Structure 1
Amino acid sequence: MSLKYAVLAALLEGEASGYELSKLFDVSFANFWPATPQQLYRELERLAQDGLVEARFVQQERRPNKRMFTLTASGREDLRAFAAEPPRRPTAIRDELLIKVQAMDDPEAARALVEERGTWARAKLDRYERVRERLLDGRTEDAYLRDSDRIGPYLTLLAGIAFEEENLRWCDRVRTVLKQRVAAR
């Protein structure tokens, strides 16, 4: 899948500038489809050329002018067709840390790398929990899922939370195994 559909899905939330889209990606999409601001701007240009998004210029007094992007009817239809198709292939993990652990011969070095991963996972999990609280806005999860117009962002957020929770469990397990190996020597 290309970045195209992630951008189209992000624009379901409403009109956004490239900058706002970048911030939305940091919060809502980074757990499953990260993109740099430069990638997003290039994709917005392609989508506009293809007629899938529409741009309007907004003049600003003390800031540079900006372009605001919205989905077109063609963009919505393309996204709807994409969303109805089954994924082409199952998800595959590509993780540099796992290569390093696979090749490890120094438990202390591996432990340090796993500690760092745990710190990153904890920080991401904390950020996702803040986003979750903002989405719920004082409602219970059941009420949100029952009454909200769009629940996709919440469901993908739950996937990100589960992923980081599993990262933390794996890090704990690896630390325990490494500690036992060092003690047994």
Structure 2
Amino acid sequence: MALRNAIMAALLEGAASGYDLAKNFDVSLGNFWMATPQQLYRELERMEADGLLSARVVQQERRPNKRLFSLTDEGRAALYAFTSAPPKPGAMREELLVQVQAVDVGDAAAVRAAIAERRARAEAKSALYERLRQRLLDGRTEDDFLATAERVGPYLSLLRGIAFERENISWAEHALAALERRAAREP
């Protein structure tokens, strides 16, 4: 998946500046697509040049002017084409798991600390995602929301993020317990 598809999906929420996209990327698409602000800005420029986005300048007092990006008809067509094609199989590239794989000959205490940090981040993200879920539902049941909301894609992808973070927490707890039991047996 190209970064441009993730940006176009994010812009379905409405016009946004590069700063707004970078700030909100972590809570909307960051669970399944990572990008630095520099990557976002470069891609926004390319997408505008390719006619997928249009930009308008918003004059601001006491701050630099900002550019708000919106999808063009060509951008919507490209996003439609992206959703029409079968997705490529996902692949996990996770540095922490390589460290866990090598824990038996590596610094087990450092690996345990990294797993504990991952668990803490997952707990924080899970709590954030749950708050976002409640905000989206706005007092409605999930069934009512899914039947009546104008857009359900952000909610469904948020549910996947919640499940992902819960699994990260569960795995981290299991891995930590196993490594701590092994450490207790060592002389």
Q: Same fold (TM over 0.5)?
A: yes
1:100 aligns with 2:99: yes
| Shift >4 Å, 4+ stretches | none
Per-residue CA deviations over 1:103-147 (Å, capped at 9, x if unaligned) read 012543332221111111111111111211221122111111111
Distance in 2 of aligned mates of 1:40 and 1:109: 33
Distance in 2 of aligned mates of 1:176 and 1:110: 13
TM (norm. structure 1) is 0.93
Distance in 2 of aligned mates of 1:49 and 1:37: 19
User: Equivalent residue for 1:74?
Assistant: 74
User: Equivalent residue for 1:59?
Assistant: 59
**Tell me, what secondary structure is at the counterpart of 2:62?**
coil
1:182, distance to aligned residue in structure 2 (A): 3.0
1:180, distance to aligned residue in structure 2 (A): 2.6
User: Equivalent residue for 2:15?
Assistant: 15
User: Equivalent residue for 1:117?
Assistant: 118
Alignment RMSD: 1.4
**Tell me, what secondary structure is at the counterpart of 1:56?**
strand
**Tell me, what secondary structure is at the counterpart of 2:70?**
strand
User: Equivalent residue for 1:181?
Assistant: 182
Distance 1:108 1:63, change over 3 A: closer
User: Equivalent residue for 1:161?
Assistant: 162
Per-residue CA deviations over 1:49-101 (Å, capped at 9, x if unaligned) read 0111111111112221111111111100010011110012x111111111111
Distance in 2 of aligned mates of 1:44 and 1:122: 32
Which residue identity lines up with residue 34 of structure 1 in the other structure? Answer: M
User: Equivalent residue for 1:31?
Assistant: 31
**Tell me, what secondary structure is at the counterpart of 2:54?**
strand
Per-residue CA deviations over 1:8-67 (Å, capped at 9, x if unaligned) read 111111111111222221210111112122111111111110111111111112221111
User: Sequence identity, in percent?
Assistant: 60
Which consecutive unaligned segments of at least 5 residues does structure 1 have?
none
Distance in 1 of aligned mates of 2:16 and 2:84: 25
1:179, distance to aligned residue in structure 2 (A): 2.7
Distance in 1 of aligned mates of 2:167 and 2:112: 17
**Tell me, what secondary structure is at the counterpart of 2:87?**
coil
Which residue identity lines up with residue 21 of structure 1 in the other structure? Answer: L
**Tell me, what secondary structure is at the counterpart of 1:70?**
strand
Which residue identity lines up with residue 100 of structure 1 in the other structure? Answer: Q
Distance in 1 of aligned mates of 2:21 and 2:112: 37
Distance in 2 of aligned mates of 1:49 and 1:156: 29
Distance in 1 of aligned mates of 2:15 and 2:158: 21
**Tell me, what secondary structure is at the counterpart of 1:57?**
strand
Which consecutive unaligned segments of at least 5 residues does structure 2 have?
none
User: Equivalent residue for 1:84?
Assistant: 84
Which residue identity lines up with residue 98 of structure 1 in the other structure? Answer: L
1:152, distance to aligned residue in structure 2 (A): 0.6
Distance in 1 of aligned mates of 2:16 and 2:95: 34
Distance in 1 of aligned mates of 2:10 and 2:40: 11
